Structure 1
Amino acid sequence: MVDLTKIRAIDIHTHAEEPCGCHADDGYDDLQATMAKYFRASWSHPPTVPETAAHYREQNIAAVIFPVDAERETGYRRYKNEEVAELAAENDDVLIPFASIDPHKGKMGAREARRLMKDFGIKGFKFHPTMQGFYPNDRMAYELYEAIAEEGGIALFHTGQTGVGSGMRGGNGMRLKYSNPMYMDDVAVDFPDIKIILAHPSFPWQEEALAVAQHKPNVYVDLSGWSPKYFPEILVKYCNSILRKKVLFGSDWPMITPERWLADFEKIAIKDELRPDIIKGNAARLLGLS
C-alpha cells in the first residue's frame, strides 16, 4: 500500500515492459529501440517491472503502471494483465496497477475488465487509440467502458503525437487521427461517472484537450511524454489557473525518467503553491489514496 507520507510524487503514466519486449520476431523490439533513440533514453533494453519498482523506490516516487494491449492492430503480443497486477502487488509500496484491453474484444474484454478489477485490484485501464486502431467514441468500445464504469475504474487515453512510431516507415502503421482528444468529449458525456485522463500534451490538438478537460468535470490531463521544457504556453497557463486541480504528473517511463521530468518541471513557470498538487496531490485524490 502506497504511503503518501513517504513519497514525494505520484507518476500517473508508466509502461510495463517485458516479457512483451523480448520477442524479436514480432517487431516490438524494433519499435522500442526507435522510441528510445527518439527520446534519448539511456537503457539498452527496456526495464522489467521489478526493475521499474526498484527505480521508483529509490526515487521515493509511486507510479501507476500498465501494459498496452494492441496485439490485434500491431501484432505485438501483449503483456498479460494478470502478470502485471501480480508484480505490482509484490511492489505495492510504489506501484499502482492499471490494465489494458483492446476494446475490439467486445463482451470478452468487458468480462476481463470486471474480473481484473474484482480479483486483481486493477484501478484503471490504459487505452491507446493510435496503437489499437479505434476512435474512442466508437460505440464498439462502449461495452468495455460500461464495465469500467460499473466497477468505479479510471480510463486513461493516449492523446496526440508523442513520438510512438515516429520516423519509422509509414509511422509503423499508426494513424494519428484516432488520438484527437475531441473524441473524448463524447465519452465524457456518455460516461459522466468514469474518471477520464487525457494522457500527454496533446500535440497538435492541445487546445481541444484543454477545452474538454475544462468543460467536463470527469476529465483530467496528464503531462507525460514530453519534457516540461517543451510545454506550450497555453498548457502552462491552464496548469496555473483553470485546471490546477486536474493536471497530473506523468513521465512516460521508461522513455522519460521521473527524475528528469521533475527536474525540468522545476524550471518552468508554475506557481510554487500549485506544484505539490500537480506532482502528487491531484493524483492521490483521483486514485482514492487521500
Structure 2
Amino acid sequence: MGFPRDVGVVDTMLDLPRGANNWSERYAGLLRDKESRENAFAHPAGYMFKDPVDPTRIVDPIGDTLRDMDAHNIEKALISVGDDLSLTALAHHPDRFLGQVLIDPKDGMDAVSLIKRAVEEFGAVAASFFPCGADVAIDDKRAYPIYAKCAELDIPIFINVGVPGPRMPYKPQYVGLLDEVCWFFPDLRIVMRHGGEPWTDLAVKLLLKWPNLYYSTSAFAPKYFPRDVIEFANKRGADKVMYAGYYPSGLSLERSFAELPDVPLRDEVWPKFLRENALRVLKVEGK
C-alpha cells in the first residue's frame, strides 16, 4: 500500500504567505551575527533551506494557499492567528484553517488573556511557544501560567524543541526540560515542534514515558525526518507522531509531498500520522 493518496491530510504547521517580515526587529537582541542582522526581511533560518517560498510574489495569499492545499489533499491546516489575513482566512474557510496563537511568556498575564481571547473570539484550537525566540526556557516559571491556561481551556500547546535554526542560544529548548512540565501538567497536551535534534533519542524516551506528549515533524523535509522518531512511530508510537510541514517558511508543499512516499512508515501508521493523531490532539472533527 505505502503512502495513501486518499487520506485528507491535517497539516499541523502551515501558514499564509504574508509578504516581508522584519525578523531582525522581532528578535532584536537575539540575532547578533552580521548576516542575521543585515538580512532583516529574510527568514532567520533561511540558510538551512534550498527552496523557500517567496511570499512577496504571491498575489492571493489565501486563495493560492487553498489551491496548493487542494493539490496535495490537505484537508485542514493549523495557521498562526492574530492579524487581519489570518482572521479573514478563519472566518471565510473555517473548515480548512485552524487557528493557533503564538505566546510569549514574558508578557505575563497579558499572554494568558491572549490565549483566552484567541480561543473565544478567533476560534483558536492551539497555542504555540518558541522558547529560543522568547528567550524563555521550556520549564521557566514564567511559562507555567501559559501551560495552566491551555490545560484549563483543553487546548494543546506546540513547543519548539532542539537546536534552533536561527542563530540564537539553544539552551531554552533542551528536550529534557519537557520532563518536569509533562509531570506537573498531566492534563496538558504538549506537541514537540522542529525536530528536537540532537536529542531525538531523549525525545523518544519522553514520548514513551509521558501519555500527554506528542511529536510533529515541522521544519524537516521528509527525507530528513529523524530515523529514531520514525522507528518509534512504527512501533509503540503510532498514536504519538503527526505530520507537519513548513510552508511557506522553508519548504514548499511540492517538495514535502514528493518526499513523503519514501518515508518508511507502516501501512497502518500512515492514516494516523497524516490525519487521525492531529484531529484527536486538536480535538477537531474531520470531514
Alignment partner for residue 70 of structure 2, among 30, 49, 57?
Answer: 57
Partner of 1:3: none
Change (3 A) 1:150 1:27: closer
**Counterpart secondary structure, 1:210:** helix
Provide, for residues 65-112 of structure 1, a one-character-per-residue CA deviation record: whole Å limited to 9, x for no partner: 126xxxxxxxxxxxx357534432322232111111211111111112
Question: Alpha-carbon deviation of 1:280?
Answer: 1.0
Distance 1:36 1:42 in 2: 7
CA contact (8 A) 1:81 1:100 kept: no
1:285 and 2:280 aligned = yes
Partner of 2:49: 39
Structure 1: stretches of 5+ with no match in the other structure? 1-5, 68-79, 166-170
Partner of 2:32: none
CA contact (8 A) 2:13 2:245 kept: yes
Please give the root-mean-square deviation of Cα atoms over the aligned residues, in Å: 2.5
Q: How does 1:213-252 map to 2 (within 5 A)?
A: 213-252=207-246
**Counterpart secondary structure, 1:197:** strand
Letter in 1 for 2:222: P
1:30 and 2:40 aligned = yes
Partner of 1:270: 265
Provide, for residues 166-209 of structure 1, a one-character-per-residue CA deviation record: whole Å limited to 9, x for no partner: xxxxx2xx111111121111111111111110013211110121
Provide, for residues 147-182 of structure 1, a one-character-per-residue CA deviation record: whole Å limited to 9, x for no partner: 21111111000111353x2xxxxx2xx111111121
CA contact (8 A) 1:82 1:120 kept: no
Partner of 1:113: 115
Distance 2:204 2:84 in 1: 34
Partner of 2:13: 13
Letter in 2 for 1:56: M
Q: How does 1:111-190 map to 2 (within 5 A)?
A: 111-161=113-163, 163=165, 165=166, 171=167, 174-190=168-184
Letter in 2 for 1:190: F
Distance 2:84 2:91 in 1: 10
Distance 2:276 2:102 in 1: 25
Change (3 A) 1:281 1:188: same
Q: Which moved more, 1:211-220 or 1:24-33?
A: 24-33
Letter in 2 for 1:287: L
Q: Higher relative CO (CA 8 A, sep ≥ 6), structure 1 or 2?
A: 2
Q: Which moved more, 1:243-252 or 1:223-232?
A: 223-232
Q: How does 1:81-96 map to 2 (within 5 A)?
A: 84-96=86-98
CA contact (8 A) 2:193 2:216 kept: yes
Change (3 A) 1:240 1:31: farther
Number of residue pairs matched by the alignment: 264
CA contact (8 A) 1:9 1:279 kept: yes
Distance 1:209 1:215 in 2: 10
Distance 1:218 1:146 in 2: 14
Misfit runs of 4+, over 6 Å: none
Distance 1:180 1:23 in 2: 27
CA contact (8 A) 1:56 1:94 kept: no
1:257 and 2:252 aligned = yes
Distance 1:234 1:126 in 2: 24
TM-score by length of 1: 0.82
Distance 1:24 1:113 in 2: 23
1:195 and 2:168 aligned = no
Question: Alpha-carbon deviation of 1:18?
Answer: 2.3
Question: Alpha-carbon deviation of 1:57?
Answer: 3.3
Q: Give the % identical residues.
A: 23
**Counterpart secondary structure, 2:13:** strand
Letter in 1 for 2:65: T
Question: Alpha-carbon deviation of 1:25?
Answer: 8.2
